[in-house]
Amino acid sequence: MPSLPQAIRGWQAGTRLSPIWGVDVYNTANLRVDPLDDDVCLLFIGPVQPARFYSDLPQLRADGNSPVKLWVSLGAYNLIVVTPKDISSIITSWAEGQGLNYERWTINNNKVIDQSYFCNPQKSLDWRNKMAEFSGGRYVKILPIVASEYVALMASTLARAERVTPSMVEMFISIHAALSELVSDEIDSNPVLASAVMANVNAGLSRFSSQAYSGSSPIFATESHFWIHSLLGTAVANIALQKLVDFAAEHIGGVNIPRLLDLLRNIKNNVVDLERGGASSDIFHRDHLGDVIAECGESAEPSLPIITYFSGRDGFKSHHLTLSAPLAAVPACNSLRYSLYTLTHELSHRIIHATLTILCPDRDNESSVSESIALLSERDKPADDWLRAVKRYMLHGIVAINLERMKDQGDKRYDRNRLLEADHYWRPEIEEIMVHVFDFLYFYRRDPNRYVKGIWTSWSTLPNIGDRVEEYIIRTLCAVLSNHLRRGAEMENSARDDVLMALENLQSLQHGLAYISDAVSLLKNDWDRLCEKIKRRKVFVQIVRGFLFSERIATRLASEQFVSGNERERQGYTHNIGVLDLVPFQNPLRYLEAFTTSMDPGSSASAWMLNMLAFNRATSAGVE
């Protein structure tokens, strides 16, 4: 069907559809689709980088007068080929040689009269016994509804992964191991929490499985609930998202920044009284985590596996073992409004959340609370070690921000209850601020223009946040402030100038982005009040810049071996938007950063990007 309205007009109970994109070199780039001749067959092949077909079978390109037609989709079968029957064996032999699955439809009178399919035999890993053991164990006895649903869902996902995305099987097995461990800690003491964790994994698995594996053979027997992709599913988009998250989680999660922070307890030399150190001190620009690595060694740990999926309701959201991205990213991830890059914010939350459990008092742990009260009352001497110094500074930060609520209260001393109450009240905002600073430093590589453009464009898609613009501008200012901590009395003004300039640049693009003019107006007309707020939150900025950021870790996270040439031209990548090729890249985050520059969503540019993210990342087996 050349258009959606035409498809809808003829809709029947069993109708399903998926978008496909034509390819220039196969003369399919125009919208017209001719009725199929009787001597052709339709081949569905995948999942594979379409450029492999082009590279391996040059005799089938249109410029060689070949009658083969080819389209690209986002499904598990992402190559759709219309070919004369006598040529089809060349293609199916190639697919089998490449270890790819395919389904073949024979056409007669424009109807499918025969279907057959080939699934590449994959080595089966020993997951069935593990799942059987689980299904007979105590989890199913204690949580019969959620655990039995989980075990069947996981078995189904694993069985399908074996066929369609064999490289993901191990990931699902490690999800199972991680979930078992997580739940075993809670199942006796807090079965409600255990049930919630498992239910969340079930939601992630069922969405992933429905999205990625519908459209696999036999195509007619499966159905994706993402209705615009109900025929072929969205395996390519799911693979792309999974690879992106795996890379980010491995490179930032694997370093285990909270653990490195905790190891600061072993560094006792030259500890500084941070409260008296002066905000412009170089202390916040030292690579403290690098020092920890040098002193205590580095133990790269496997990061927790994460199930990824697309969700229209959840948007970007992260739980223990799941992470979702908005459904709108599938047809629109080429644009900044729906960029997948926003998931770095969710990953940053995971790290900062763990960090705050180290730095802030734990209300369920009396010794932690007592230590915090004692640290707050320490005066005129540096702490015993760097971890205590940072904790103490954090507590003073909580006290400083709490002044916004306590202006009229006489007694400002902090006892147990007041400290816990202040921590409880401010923790969500403190976490958000630190997440923004962390995201800015590590993932936006300290570039205020890219950062402001990225986050404010993505915020413009959220409804009903007009009354929260001040919160968002404060977070933005705090993030950018981390670039200016050396500028003394000018640091807040410098941050404001950067943010204002970036917002005005966005405004001048005239893309009708929501909330930008409100933010500009706040910065221009209410700066003195905002500036006071920024000053009260500066401690959290300094802690992230000084004790959670490392130039060495950031270099590794942002490193890319496959670039060459001009830095300003797509950061040295040689790919062209819309051109599917076989040139690999090492760092999908950098790739995404370089190619997500459009303000306007476009489904073909998004399909191109998802295919590249799914298939062109160099794997550890090959390069890393």
Partner 1 sequence: MAQLVNGYLLFWPGSPGNIKIEDLSQSSNLRIMSNERAYGWDFMEFKSNIPLDNEDHGILSPPYLYKIMCRRSGPRVLLLSTGKKIVDVLIEKEINTTLSPNLRPAHLKINDLVHLIVKSPDRYLLTSVYCRTPAYGADLQSLSMFGDDVGNAELFREIMDRMTAYRCGLGRLRDRKEIVRLGSDGAISFFWENERRAKEVESTLNYLKNNNLIETDWNEVLK
CB atoms closer than 10 angstroms to residue 181: 10
How many residues sit in the footprint of partner 1 (CB under 8 A)?
47
Among 106, 574, 597, 598, binds partner 1 (CB under 8 A): 574
Q: What minimum distance in Å lies between the beta carbon of 106 and partner 1?
A: 27
In this structure, what token pair is assigned to residue 384? Answer: 């015993």
Site for partner 1 in 28-67 (CB under 8 A): 49, 54-59, 61, 63-64
Contacts of 381 (CB under 8 A, 6+ apart): 273
Sheet strands (E) in 9-72: 21-22, 40-46, 69-72
Site for partner 1 in 350-389 (CB under 8 A): none
CB of 516 closer than 8 Å to CB of 503: yes
Q: What minimum distance in Å lies between the beta carbon of 487 and partner 1?
A: 13
CB of 458 closer than 8 Å to CB of 336: yes
Nearer to partner 1, 93 or 521 (CB): 93
Among 559, 576, 579, 600, binds partner 1 (CB under 8 A): 559
Q: What minimum distance in Å lies between the beta carbon of 481 and partner 1?
A: 15
Nearer to partner 1, 57 or 119 (CB): 57
Among 114, 133, 404, 551, binds partner 1 (CB under 8 A): 551
Nearer to partner 1, 115 or 571 (CB): 571
- H-state helical runs in 439-550: 448-459, 469-481, 491-508, 516-525, 527-543
**Binding track, positions 603-622, relative to partner 1; x by CB under 8 A:** ------------xxxxx-xx
Task: Return the exposure string of 67-99: e unless at least 16 CB atoms fall within 10 Å of the residue's CB, then b.
Answer: ebbbbbbbbbbbbbbbbeeebbeebbebbeeee
Nearer to partner 1, 421 or 447 (CB): 447
**Choices 297-305, 336-344, 399-407, 546-554; region in contact with partner 1 by CB under 8 A:** 546-554
- 306, 285, 300, 323: which is closest to 491 by C-alpha? 285
CB of 507 closer than 8 Å to CB of 519: no
**Which DSSP symbol is given to 24?**
G
CB of 257 closer than 8 Å to CB of 289: yes
Contact call for residue 300 and partner 1 (CB under 8 A): no
Contact call for residue 576 and partner 1 (CB under 8 A): no
Among 8, 374, 465, 583, binds partner 1 (CB under 8 A): 583
CA distance 395 to 369: 11
- Inter-axis angle of helices 527-543 and 386-406, nearest 10: 160
Q: What minimum distance in Å lies between the beta carbon of 334 and partner 1?
A: 21
Nearer to partner 1, 446 or 533 (CB): 446
Task: Return the exposure string of 202-224: e unless at least 16 CB atoms fall within 10 Å of the residue's CB, then b.
Answer: bbbbbbbbbbbbbbbbebeebeb
Contact call for residue 297 and partner 1 (CB under 8 A): no
Site for partner 1 in 164-193 (CB under 8 A): 167
**Binding track, positions 421-450, relative to partner 1; x by CB under 8 A:** -----------------------xxxxxxx
- Interface residues with partner 1 (CB under 8 A)? 49, 54-59, 61, 63-64, 167, 444-450, 483, 551-552, 554-555, 557-565, 567, 572, 574, 582-584, 590, 615-619, 621-623
